[in-house]
Structure 1
Amino acid sequence: MSFEAAQYVFTAPLAVSRPDPYPEEERWQTIGLIGKLTVFVVHTWPESDSVTGEETGRIISAPRATAHERRAYEEGRF
């Protein structure tokens, strides 16, 4: 999935985020529905730009959710 399309997971009404265990930098995992597709996005948390005030983050990866991730999301265990 393109990062442009993956960004819509952040506005999905039932999206869920949690910290990612990656040790090198603070990362987050967000899972949610875009249409009928369950998407798993690894990203940095948006921070406010000191000049523009715009909040920006960085998407690191955005694959389709695996069957295990999708099931955990659907069962509320994500």
Structure 2
Amino acid sequence: DQRKNKLNQKNHGIDFEDAQTVFFDEEALLIQDPDHSEDEDRFLMLGISSSLRLMVVCHCYREEGELIRIISARKAIRRERNQYTARLK
């Protein structure tokens, strides 16, 4: 969704093309996000993108897990950075 991508770039400075590379981070942390939708299961992926930015990508799975729909992406906050790096020690 180009409109949503442009809005995300404006609000968070992150392009969905960069955000999708977080899913290739073998150390990424997948977190269920039950608070933001009653209609679908949403998840947060905390990981490093190909541009070496630690970010949180809110997403859901479509077509029985075959397709990932990115809802938003943003830079990780301090607590999330600590959560990510603590697992690597």
Coarse TM-score class (shorter-chain normalised): 0.7 to 0.9
Kindly tell me: are residues 47 and 14 of structure 1, through their superposed partners in 2, closer, same or farther at Cα, counting changes over 3 Å?
farther
- 1:69 — aligned with what? 80
Amino acid in the other structure paired with 1:45: Y
Indicate the RMSD between aligned Cα atoms, in angstroms.
Answer: 1.8
Once the two structures are superposed, what CA deviation does each residue of 1:17-76 show, in whole Å capped at 9, x if it has no partner? 121122422101111112431011110035448xxxxx2121111001011111111113
Q: Does 2:63 match 1:33?
A: no
> Secondary structure at 1:13's aligned position in 2?
coil
CA distance in 1, matches of 2:56, 2:29: 10
Q: Does 2:26 match 1:10?
A: no
Q: For structure 1, list consecutive stretches of 5 or more residues without a partner in the other structure.
A: 50-54
Aligned length: 71
CA distance in 2, matches of 1:60, 1:44: 8
TM-score, structure 1 as length reference: 0.77
**After the TM superposition, which parts of structure 1 deviate over 2 Å for at least 4 consecutive aligned residues?**
45-49
Amino acid in the other structure paired with 1:10: F
Greater helix fraction, Structure 1 or Structure 2: 2
Q: Percent of aligned positions with the same letter in both sequences?
A: 37
1:2 offset after TM fit, Å? 0.8
